[in-house]
Amino acid sequence: MIVEIFRQMRAAGSVEEDPMMNSRLLLPLALFGLLTSSHAEDGFVPLFDGKTLTGWEQHSGTAEYRVENEAVVGKTVPVSGNSFLCTSKTYSDFILELEFKVDPSMNSGIQFRSNYYTKETEVEIAGKKKKFPADRVHGYQFEIDPSPRAFTGGVYDEGRRGWLFDLKDNEAARKAFKQGEWNQARIECRGDSIKTFINGVPAADLKDGMTHEGVIALQVHGVGKKTEAVGKEVMWKNIRIKELK
């Protein structure tokens, strides 16, 4: 491809016969081709364009979401339950990568294989009946926990069963979170296998077959009537996914 571009440039008279000049032109073209090829071959596609919330829709609570500096910013509001900015598309087996930065006083999360009902629905979970209000997002969550507990990267079953894999026995993952900085999250779902990573360090590793498909969502935790917690923010950027066949 690069040679063909160069040949067309010579035919158009935009490339001189000077070998030194030609080599200087070929190098940047080759580098461009290499970068473009490697990006395409890794199989990841962006879920967020860095400018708009196209492809996303809000469910459950009333937290505020906006785009700023190529990041999605979620802000807490008073008297609201947990809020979720969800992809309009569902995903089953995939690798999800993104970066996040959270206020030290907040709790947040990244939902995956999560769902919601359009009307109040009662289901049986672990032998017990549970009612879900309409629009209540529930499902697997990559925990974002900047508290001293430091469970960021653990897997919590939002709205259903609670903790599936905390980090009390994974000191390396608990120490991997960087307070007040951008952190990288990675979630791998293959069949009933769920694995998470925080800044490249393995965090959760479990098998659970309750839900095999659902939306990706960015959570802003509800703060109730705690006025001191209103206006806190969490940010996500470079959100990309690779679907697995």
- Taking only the tens of pLDDT, the chain with its 245 residues reads 444 444 554 555 544 455 554 545 444 444 444 444 444 458 999 999 999 999 999 999 999 999 999 999 999 998 888 999 999 999 999 999 999 999 999 999 999 999 999 999 999 998 899 999 999 999 999 999 999 999 999 999 999 999 999 999 999 999 999 999 999 999 999 999 999 999 999 999 999 999 999 999 999 988 776 766 678 899 999 999 999 98
Torsion of the alpha carbons at 132, 133, 134 and 138, rounded to the nearest 10: -50
Does the global pTM surpass 0.85? no
Q: Compute the chain's Rg from CA coordinates.
A: 22
Domain boundaries, the chain: 2-41, 45-243
Sign of the Cα torsion 18, 23, 25, 26 reads positive
Q: Distance between CA atoms of 48 and 84, rounded to whole angstroms? A: 15
The residue length of the chain stands at 245
* CATH dotted code for 45-243: 2.60.120.560
Strand partners, 109: 143, 219
